[in-house]
Amino acid sequence: MLTKNIEKALNEQIKLEHESSQIYLSMASWAEERGFEGVASFMYAHSDEEREHMLKLFKFVNERGGHAVVSALTAPPVSFGSLKKMFKTLFDHEVMISKKINDLVDITLQEKDYATHNFLQWYVSEQIEEESLARNILDKINLIGDDKGGLYLFDNDVKMLTVNPPVN
C-alpha cells in the first residue's frame, strides 16, 4: 500500500513523464518541418518511450492501491531555435528529470517504502542512459557547428540511435 505522500510524489512524476512525451513530440514536429527526418523519427520514438515511462508508473500506482491521476499538462515550446539548441534543451530536461527521480527515491527511503524504492531503480538506470545519450548527441553537434553537410550526416546518424531498450 502506498502512503499518501508517495502516491502524490508518484503522480507528480507521472505528469512529468507525460510532459516529456509532449516535449519530444513538439521537437519531432519542429525537426520534421525543417526536413530533419532522422531527428524527427528519433524524437517520435523518444516521445513514445516517455509515454511508456509514464504508463509504467501509472500502472504501478494502481497496483499498489493508489489512484493514478491524469492531470492537465503544461504545453511544450513550439519552436527550438536550432538543432544545437534543441538538443541542449533535451539534455537539460533529462538532467532535471534525473533530479526528480532522485528526489522520489529519497522520499521512499524516508518513508521506508522499499517496494517503491526497488521499482524506481529501473528509472535510476534509465536516466543514466538518457543523460549519456543526450550528452553524446550534444558533443557530436558541437563538433559539426553550422556545416550543412555535417548536419545532413548528423541527421542520418541520429536516426540510427535508440534511447533505451523496451520498458518491460
List residues binding ligand OFO (CB under 6 A). Answer: 17, 20, 50, 53, 94, 97, 126, 130
Q: Decide whether 68 or 151 has the Cβ nearer to ligand OFO.
A: 68
Distance of closest approach, residue 18 Cβ to ligand OFO, in angstroms: 10
Q: Decide whether 50 or 113 has the Cβ nearer to ligand OFO.
A: 50
Distance of closest approach, residue 6 Cβ to ligand OFO, in angstroms: 19
What does the alpha-carbon distance between residue 34 and residue 121 come to, in Å, rounded to a whole number? 38
Please give the C-alpha separations between residue 130 and each of 8, 113, 125, 151, 154, in angstroms, as whole numbers: 25, 26, 9, 22, 18
Q: Decide whether 17 or 113 has the Cβ nearer to ligand OFO.
A: 17
What does the alpha-carbon distance between residue 38 and residue 70 come to, in Å, rounded to a whole number? 31
Distance of closest approach, residue 35 Cβ to ligand OFO, in angstroms: 25
Helical H segments across the chain, by residue range: 4-33, 37-63, 83-110, 114-144, 148-160
Q: Decide whether 3 or 135 has the Cβ nearer to ligand OFO.
A: 135
